[in-house]
């Protein structure tokens, strides 16, 4: 079994719905050989990252930056996993009330330093809440899990 780790900050009902959508997509019934682990950033550590074969990050845009919880995750995990997890397939979704540019840039900088591999452009969910955000994040979760199962990630 391969493992997909979803690390998503979900401080509101809508961001909880996004995290649930990512998990639902990743647990699609046709994806049979991927174990999905979902954890909030403050409860995720280096051992979780070491155990996974791909990672999906989710964050809110806070003051033009990633959530403090996701930043804390990176602070605790960066050096412990730096050497052994290079090339880790990753993706990101950002729930951005504004444009998400600063959040995206900050996460991309850290991911570049970790030498993880983007599997697609970060998904930025901008502006007022839209129900279509749910489908987009669910599709992202499915894409990562299916890619892991197929061996293309």
Averaged pLDDT, 68-75: 98
In total, the chain counts a number of residues equal to: 153
Residue 98 pLDDT > 90: no
pLDDT tier at 59 (50, 70, 90 boundaries)?
Answer: very high
Res 97: pLDDT: 87
Percent with pLDDT over 90 in the chain: 98
Over residues 106-141, the pLDDT tens digits come to 999 999 999 999 999 999 999 999 999 999 999 999
pLDDT tier at 6 (50, 70, 90 boundaries)?
Answer: very high
Over residues 24-52, the pLDDT tens digits come to 999 999 999 999 999 999 999 999 999 99
Separation of alpha carbons 35 and 111, rounded Å: 23
pLDDT tier at 4 (50, 70, 90 boundaries)?
Answer: very high
**DSSP element (H, E) containing 2:** strand 2-8
Separation of alpha carbons 84 and 101, rounded Å: 29
**For 24-69, what is the HEC assignment?**
HHHCCCCCCCEEEEEECHHHCCHHHHHHCCEEEEEEECECCECCHH
Res 138: pLDDT: 98
């Amino acid at each position: 079994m391969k493992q997909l780790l979803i690390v998503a900050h979900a401080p509101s009902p809508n961001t909880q719905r996004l995290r649930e959508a990512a998990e639902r997509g990743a647990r699609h019934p046709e994806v049979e050989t991927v174990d999905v682990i979902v954890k909030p950033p403050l409860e995720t550590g280096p051992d979780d990252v070491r155990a996974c074969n791909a990672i999906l990050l989710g964050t809110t845009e806070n003051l033009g930056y990633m959530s403090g919880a996701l930043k804390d995750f990176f602070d605790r995990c960066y050096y412990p996993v730096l050497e052994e997890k290079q090339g880790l397939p990753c993706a990101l979704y950002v729930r951005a009330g504004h444009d998400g540019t600063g959040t995206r840039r900050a996460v991309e900088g850290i991911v570049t330093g970790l030498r993880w591999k983007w599997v697609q452009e970060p998904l930025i969910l901008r502006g007022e809440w839209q129900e279509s955000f749910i489908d987009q994040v669910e599709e992202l979760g499915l894409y990562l899990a299916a890619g892991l199962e197929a061996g293309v990630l």
